[in-house]
Chain A
Amino acid sequence: MRDKLKTLPSSYREKKRYVVFEIISDKKIEFEELIKSVFNNTINLIGILGVAKTNFRFMSDLYNEKKQIFVLRCLPKDVELIRLSMALITEINKKNVCIRSLGVTGTIKSARRKYMDI
């Protein structure tokens, strides 16, 4: 028998939201230090169980190093929580930063189209 699961129908899948953020900083932030800081701060605010419940994911292939834009995935009800946890970041690797949210989308495609000009 096949070991692979069948793809769930779209109505059975959990709803997602993609929150697009921009880093405002004098110096460039590297991908590794960003991802470390994002996870540390989110776990710091909502805890491991909270992060697990929000269906949280850093969309690494949507990271735009030039524009310093990154995308996080979460459940629709937890968008504000993720926004707050990003707003609480003031420093990444001793560089002063301010992270602002550009917007929220329902699909990766629209996130790319609206905020990344792809």
Chain B
Amino acid sequence: MEHRFYDLNVAFYNEHLLERAEYLGLSGICIVARSTDNIDEYLEKIKKIREGTNIDVVTGVLIEEKPNKIFGLAKSLRRKVELILVSGGDYETNRMACSSEYVDILCHPEKGRKDPGIDHICCREAREHNTIIELNFRELISAIGMERIKELNKMKEIVRLCNKTKARFIVNSGAKNIFELRGGRELSSLSFCSGASLQDALIANSEIPEKLISINREKLKQPVKGVEYER
């Protein structure tokens, strides 16, 4: 079976991005907005980008706020964008993101830390609240020498915890320029090398994001949670 690979954290946009993503074999990308201001402008921009491309372009916002503001922001953005990502690193932020139903992806929970940033409690919460834990490929690319070893070690620990608690994980490129974008198989190879089985590694970057996006799109169509109408 052919896998449809997704990259749900691309932090830039230029005219060659979609062409390159298609060439690398990606079926969909999420061009992430980094600020919560001008959301309408961002949505208009994505609407224009979607025209004339075969790639599934997903809207998403990366929240980089203090833990006490995450919940409110995520709740207000839930009915506007398809994906809500939270920039991790701080334990309180990670815990908050994992235990919130409004958050879809917790990005790089290990950033700037000596430990993986999540524990078994976070993982269990993430599983219960359908939050996906992200491994960021860019964190690995930008690290050199001993830093890269530590980064790999932390990723290995995250994958181990996710396997143990059956929480879901994903590998995103987090690309800030076109040369940092990677294909689906390359992204999957990171989770495989971090200890996941090949099947899990492939599903993490294909079926899981596909399902997540379709569920969120269905939710966006509903005027109130759980209510659908026919035209």
Contact (Cβ within 8 A) B179 A90 = yes
CA distance A114 to B185 in the complex (A): 18
CA distance A83 to B141 in the complex (A): 14
Chain B CB within 8 A of A84 CB: yes
Chain B residues in 8 Å Cβ range of A81: 189, 193
Chain A residues in 8 Å Cβ range of B179: 24, 90, 96-98
Most chain A CB within 10 A, of B148, B177, B193, B201, is at: B193
Chain B CB within 8 A of A101 CB: yes
One of A24, A90, A97, A101 near B185 (C-beta < 8 A): A101
Interface size on B, residues (CB 8 A): 24
**Chain B nearest CB: distance from A67 CB in Å?**
14
Contact (Cβ within 8 A) A80 B24 = no
Instruction: Fill in one digit per residue for B104-117: 1 if any A CB lies within 8 Å of its CB, else 0.
Output: 00000000000000
CA distance A39 to B215 in the complex (A): 44
Contact (Cβ within 8 A) B193 A98 = no
One of B23, B140, B198 near A80 (C-beta < 8 A): B198
Chain B CB within 8 A of A52 CB: no
Most chain B CB within 10 A, of A24, A84, A97, is at: A84
Chain B CB within 8 A of A35 CB: no
CA distance A24 to B140 in the complex (A): 20
- Chain A residues touching B, range: 10 to 19
Chain A residues in 8 Å Cβ range of B188: 80
Beyond A90-B141, A100-B24, is A80–B183 a contact (Cβ under 8 Å)? no
Beyond A80-B193, A80-B198, A83-B189, is A88–B141 a contact (Cβ under 8 Å)? yes
Contact (Cβ within 8 A) A88 B198 = no
Contact (Cβ within 8 A) A101 B183 = yes
Q: For window 180-210 of chain B, which residues contact chain A by CB distance below 8 Å? A: 180-183, 185-186, 188-190, 192-193, 198, 201
Q: For window 76-107 of chain A, which residues contact chain B by CB distance below 8 Å? A: 80-81, 83-84, 86-88, 90, 96-98, 100-101
Instruction: Fill in one digit per residue for B38-72: 1 if any A CB lies within 8 Å of its CB, else 0.
Output: 00000000000000000000000000000000000
**Chain A nearest CB: distance from B20 CB in Å?**
8
Residues in A lying within 8 Å of B, measured CB to CB = 24, 44, 80-81, 83-84, 86-88, 90, 96-98, 100-101
Which A-B residue pairs are the 3 nearest by beta carbons? A87-B186, A84-B189, A83-B189
Residues in B lying within 8 Å of A, measured CB to CB = 20, 23-25, 137, 140-141, 148, 177-183, 185-186, 188-190, 192-193, 198, 201
